Amino acid sequence: MSQDMQNVLLLLLRLDPKNPTLLRFNSVSELQSDDQQLMIGILDLSHKKTSTPMTALRLDGARKDNYNSALAGMNDILKYFYGHEKDNKVGYINMPYSLNEENKKKIFKNIIDVGGEINALLSRGDSPLKNWLENTLVSESNSKIRPHQNVTIITNEFAIPWFWINRGRHDFFLCETCALGMNQLELKSNLNLNQKNEGSFKDEFQKDIDIRALFINGSSELPFANEEVKRITEIIESCESSVIKKSLCRSLKVEKVSSINDLNKIVNSFNCDKELIDQFKILHFSGHYSDENLMINENRINTERLLSPIIQNSLLILDGCSSSRSVSGWSGVGGITSQMINHGAIGCLATVLPVKNDPIIGSIFWKEFYRSFVFFQYPVGQSLLNARKKLRDHFRSLNSEDPTWLFYQLIGSPSTKMFEDDDTLETT
């Protein structure tokens, strides 16, 4: 299958006269005044006719209402997970059985409503994004109606879930039609306006090396945690013969840890040799984390000492539950994610909302993601899109409106690939 994808940058930058620095994260408070603006534009290096000039939309009147409604809608969704103040925070996190099929439908409807408000915000009047959104949201990315697209959202406003843009219940979400990633301006990501789609983890990739993935089981008490780690390990190691046959690397191995002591041993054994430490290309963390910390069984990981060497040129996957209850903390954007990207991570795949420890997720979502990313050598954005749609189709086959497939999002460039090789294995 060809991965000939267009590179598109979607710029969505909120301007606050009281905080004119574009690089900083904005507050998540409701818009009160009419003096703020949203700078929007599209840069498409492959098809310059699609590009638009940067335009400032004044966030007043109906646009302010759209913005505030989207923010309020996101807060309403969070209450299903963390509970209402008046109910002593009784929500899904404390009462897992409360996330029944009826509540899943309500959450899915709320997500549609939030995405609709964002679409209205960006499409009103003579907005330069109007036509692009209409064309982009018209079909899934595998449709013949339009070619595949790699879309990177450049924003300083993570309080608004831009990836959920949609035009209504019977249309598609933006993250359903594009290989999508998000980037924040002050992060040291690998975003390069002249970067080619086949960019990989290293500019000069040595094929005669071993490649490793590190899996951290941060919550061994979870019922399916060990099972998920085992299943994902089997998926990755099953790809070894294929990538070796393609001369992409010498071996493909998985290292697993479930304690701080285990992690210390891994780091100490590899840290003395830079070539060995550089073998790590994936860091998959399963467990609890906060805006600032990753935890292993309630013990904080010293990310500076234990993870910063490993995370260089690696993909970070946060597969678990963040303790943050704010809209802007959906993936620790201001904390752990930016720490790791600034330490050299190529990107971070995280969940917008908590995902329960479910064997179905591991057997469907992660199987498809790693199959795409490692075996078929697709870019990370396309691999995530494939996994997202695989999980979506599973729920639809059960007549379920479970919205979990919409929770997984990427911070970083969607065009990054596991290996430098330009050719992809044929789909069977």
Walk me through the domains of the chain, giving residue ranges and CATH numbers.
6-183 (no CATH), 210-412 (3.40.50)
Token pair of 218 as six digits: 């941060």
Per DSSP, helices labelled H in 180-335 are 225-238, 240-245, 260-271, 274-277, 308-311
Q: What is the reported pLDDT for 385?
A: 95
Helix (H) or strand (E) holding 14: strand 6-15
Strands (E), 109-222: 149-155, 179-183, 210-217
Q: Residue 328: how many CB atoms within 10 A of its CB?
A: 19
Amino acid at 292: E
Is the full-model pTM beyond 0.75? Answer: yes
Helix (H) or strand (E) holding 76: helix 61-82
pLDDT < 70 regions, the chain: 1-6, 20-28, 47-48, 84-90, 96, 141-148, 185-208, 220-224, 271-272, 290-291, 321-334, 357, 420-428
Check if the beta carbon of residue 350 is closer than 8 Å to that of residue 409.
Answer: yes
Question: Alpha-carbon distance 80 to 78, whole Å?
Answer: 5
Q: Residue 1: how many CB atoms within 10 A of its CB?
A: 12
Q: What is the reported pLDDT for 145?
A: 43
Q: What is the reported pLDDT for 120?
A: 96
Q: What is the reported pLDDT for 203?
A: 43
Beta bridge partners of 200: 417
Q: What is the reported pLDDT for 146?
A: 46
Check if the beta carbon of residue 272 is closer than 8 Å to that of residue 205.
Answer: no
What is the SS3 assignment for 188?
coil
Token pair of 332 as six digits: 């620790």
CB burial of residue 62 (10 Å; 0-12, 13-18, 19+): exposed
| Residue 265 CA to its chain's centroid (Å) | 29
Express each pLDDT in 314-326 by its tens digit: 999 988 766 555 5
Check if the beta carbon of residue 258 is closer than 8 Å to that of residue 217.
Answer: yes
Question: Alpha-carbon distance 158 to 258, whole Å?
Answer: 31
Check if the beta carbon of residue 147 is closer than 8 Å to that of residue 7.
Answer: no
